[in-house]
Structures are given as structure tokens and as C-alpha cells.
């Protein structure tokens, strides 16, 4: 008669994943965003892990959470383990011939900057499907199956970061609106179009240009910058244009510069790629095509 003894079980993998993300970010909310679950789910997973371990791994307080000494001692091993799991998952994905090439980008970049360049890439790699995911915050390329990301950020000098151009802003509007306002004093009587993500654009430009702007906070707001661009083209008001995003509209004459002073936001349009062992063979060429 065979013997099949009950073997000891470890904690659930999802609970360990939740702990590692929360410990790395020191935040249940940030971990929930990374893992695409709720903060409540992260909290429940960690309670499960703490129950299995028989001791607390986090201290909860009014300001947030912090690791206990035991939690801190576990973090390095957990991070190493999930980094290795991510590498193995990526290697498994890359066994598939011509696996989809995954790009993450800020919505405004995905809608206004990427399409024309993506067309050139598809011509070079017709056998590969290029998938684009628009998101507000950059993903972790060491964990998620994205092959590159494109966002605005401050360049850090990393070899895995390619700076395309500085993010410069300047007031733009439809030519018809500029013609109607010729002879008026500055920006008086014009509606200011504003993107919710870049709420500080107008004050920043005003401070750097020395041009006094009144009531810029009273204009319509848009959750997508591309919508604000379309409204500007339609003559609905003046928009603080991010030059790298509106270059096509300026070239086509759909938008025109309303004031000749531009200023830098301090950010740059940056392509981020995984570290070398995790890069696809096509990545370097694709980055070159995007950068040109």
C-alpha cells in the first residue's frame, strides 16, 4: 500500500507577490496600482502572509505603513526571487516566434507622438504585432512584460534610458483665432484650454516668459491632452502646447504659435528599455526608428 503523506504547504504565491510589491514601494496603494488590484486586496494578501508567518510584517499607522524588522529582513530575498521569476516569464514569452512587442506610453504620447513613428516600425517588422498600452505612470520593466516605455521624465543618465528631446511648452491656437485677436492686448478675452495632468503649465510659462496671465485657471479642463489639442484646432481657445506632441499640427498649419517665447518643463521625452539580458533582439533597432 502506497503512502501519500500530507506535505507542508507554503503561503499563496499572490500573497507573497503582494508583500514584495508593498514592501518595495512601502505603500499598499502603489503596490495595488502595480499589480492592478485594489489596496484592500493587497491588505488582505498581506494579512494572509502574516498569519502564515505568525508575526506582523508591516506596521499600520495614520500616515501609512512601514516594514517591521522581520519584513525588512525578507525584502531582498523576495525581490531577488520575483526578479528571477520575471526573467523566466519573459524568456518563456520570447520562445514564441515573433511574439507581440509591447509598448507602454503616456496617453498623450500614445495618441499624438507615437502613431506616425509606429507606422515606420511596422514597415520594418511586418511579422510582429506592436501593441500599445496607454497609462498614466511608467510600468516596472523589470517585472512587467513591456518591451519599452515612453514617458516624460527627468533623464537619469541610465544606459537603458534614451532621451529623445526636451519637453518645451509654448502657447498655441488655431490660425483663425489668432487672426481674430490681432490687435488685442495679449491674451485678454481668450479662453485658456488646460490639461488636468499638466495644471501648472500656464503658471510655469508665465513665470519663465515674464508675461502676466490673468484667470488662466478659469478655462475648460480636459482629462486627455489630445482632446485639448483638438479643441485648440477648432478655435475654442489657446493651449499651452508641448512642442514634441504638436509638431505635426504646427507643420500642417492646424495650430500656430501665439507667443514666440517657449520654456522647458524640466522633463524630457524619454524611452526606457529593460536591462540588456531582458531586451528583445529587435529593441535597439526599434528605438532607433522611434528616435528619428
Question: What is residue 31's three-state secondary structure?
Answer: helix
Q: Answer for the pair 232, 255: CB distance below 8 angstroms, yes or no.
A: yes
Largest CA distance in the chain: 99
Q: How far apart are CA 40 and CA 283, in angstroms?
A: 37
- Fold of the 166-265 domain: D-Maltodextrin-Binding Protein; domain 2 (3.40.190)
Q: What is the pLDDT along the chain (292 residues), one digit of tens a residue?
A: 567 788 888 999 999 999 999 999 999 999 998 898 999 999 999 999 999 999 999 999 988 999 999 999 999 999 999 999 998 998 898 888 888 999 999 999 999 999 999 999 999 999 999 999 999 989 889 888 999 999 999 998 899 999 999 999 999 999 988 876 554 456 777 889 999 989 899 999 999 998 888 777 778 999 999 999 999 999 999 999 999 999 999 999 999 999 889 999 999 999 999 988 788 989 999 999 999 8
Contacts of 185 (CB under 8 A, 6+ apart): none
Q: Answer for the pair 23, 82: CB distance below 8 angstroms, yes or no.
A: no
Which cell is 64 given? Answer: 501609512
Architecture of the domain delimited by 13-93: Orthogonal Bundle (1.10)
Q: How far from chain centre, in Å, is Cα 153? A: 9
Residue 8: the pLDDT is: 87
- Report domain extents, the chain: 13-93, 101-163+269-291, 166-265
Q: Answer for the pair 194, 220: CB distance below 8 angstroms, yes or no.
A: yes
Which cell is 210 given? Answer: 515674464
Phi then psi dihedrals of residue 200, to 5 deg: -90, 5
Predicted model pTM = 0.86
Residues paired with residue 171 on neighbouring β-strands, in sequence order: 240
Q: Answer for the pair 170, 206: CB distance below 8 angstroms, yes or no.
A: no
- DSSP letters of 52-66? HHTS-SEEEETTEEE
Please state, in angstroms and as integers, the Cα–Cα distance from residue 139 to each residue in 74, 108, 122, 245, following that order. Answer: 24, 16, 23, 21
The verdict on domain 101-163+269-291 having CATH code 3.10.20.740 is: no
The residue with cell 495650430 is 255
Q: Answer for the pair 133, 100: CB distance below 8 angstroms, yes or no.
A: no
Establish whether domains 13-93 and 101-163+269-291 are of one fold.
Answer: no
Q: Answer for the pair 187, 213: CB distance below 8 angstroms, yes or no.
A: yes
Residue 183: the pLDDT is: 47
Amino acid at each position: 500500500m502506497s503512502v501519500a503523506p500530507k506535505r507542508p504547504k507554503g503561503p499563496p504565491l499572490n500573497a507573497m507577490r503582494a508583500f514584495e510589491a508593498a514592501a518595495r514601494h512601502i505603500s499598499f496603494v502603489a503596490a495595488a496600482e502595480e499589480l492592478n488590484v485594489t489596496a484592500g486586496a493587497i491588505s488582505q494578501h498581506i494579512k494572509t502572509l502574516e498569519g502564515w508567518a505568525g508575526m506582523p510584517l508591516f506596521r499600520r499607522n495614520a500616515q501609512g505603513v512601514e516594514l517591521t524588522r522581520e519584513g525588512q529582513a525578507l525584502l531582498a530575498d523576495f525581490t531577488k526571487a520575483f526578479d528571477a521569476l520575471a526573467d523566466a516569464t519573459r524568456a518563456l514569452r520570447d520562445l514564441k516566434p515573433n511574439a507581440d512587442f509591447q509598448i507602454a506610453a503616456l496617453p498623450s504620447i500614445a495618441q499624438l507622438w507615437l502613431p506616425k513613428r509606429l507606422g515606420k516600425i511596422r514597415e520594418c517588422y511586418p511579422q510582429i504585432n506592436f501593441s500599445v498600452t496607454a497609462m498614466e505612470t511608467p510600468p516596472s520593466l523589470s517585472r512587467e512584460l513591456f518591451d519599452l516605455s515612453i514617458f516624460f521624465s527627468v533623464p537619469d543618465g541610465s544606459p537603458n534610458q534614451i532621451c529623445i528631446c526636451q519637453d518645451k511648452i509654448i502657447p498655441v491656437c488655431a490660425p483663425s483665432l489668432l487672426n481674430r485677436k490681432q490687435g488685442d492686448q495679449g491674451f485678454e478675452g481668450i479662453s485658456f484650454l488646460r490639461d488636468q495632468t499638466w495644471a501648472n503649465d500656464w503658471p510655469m510659462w508665465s513665470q519663465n516668459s515674464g508675461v502676466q496671465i490673468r484667470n488662466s485657471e478659469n478655462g475648460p479642463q480636459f482629462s486627455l491632452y489630445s482632446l485639448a489639442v483638438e479643441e485648440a484646432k477648432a478655435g475654442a481657445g489657446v493651449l499651452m502646447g508641448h512642442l514634441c506632441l504638436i509638431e505635426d499640427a504646427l507643420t500642417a498649419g492646424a495650430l500656430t504659435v501665439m507667443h514666440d517665447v517657449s520654456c522647458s518643463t524640466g522633463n524630457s521625452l524619454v524611452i526606457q528599455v529593460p536591462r540588456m539580458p531582458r531586451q528583445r533582439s529587435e529593441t535597439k533597432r526599434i528605438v532607433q526608428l522611434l528616435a528619428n
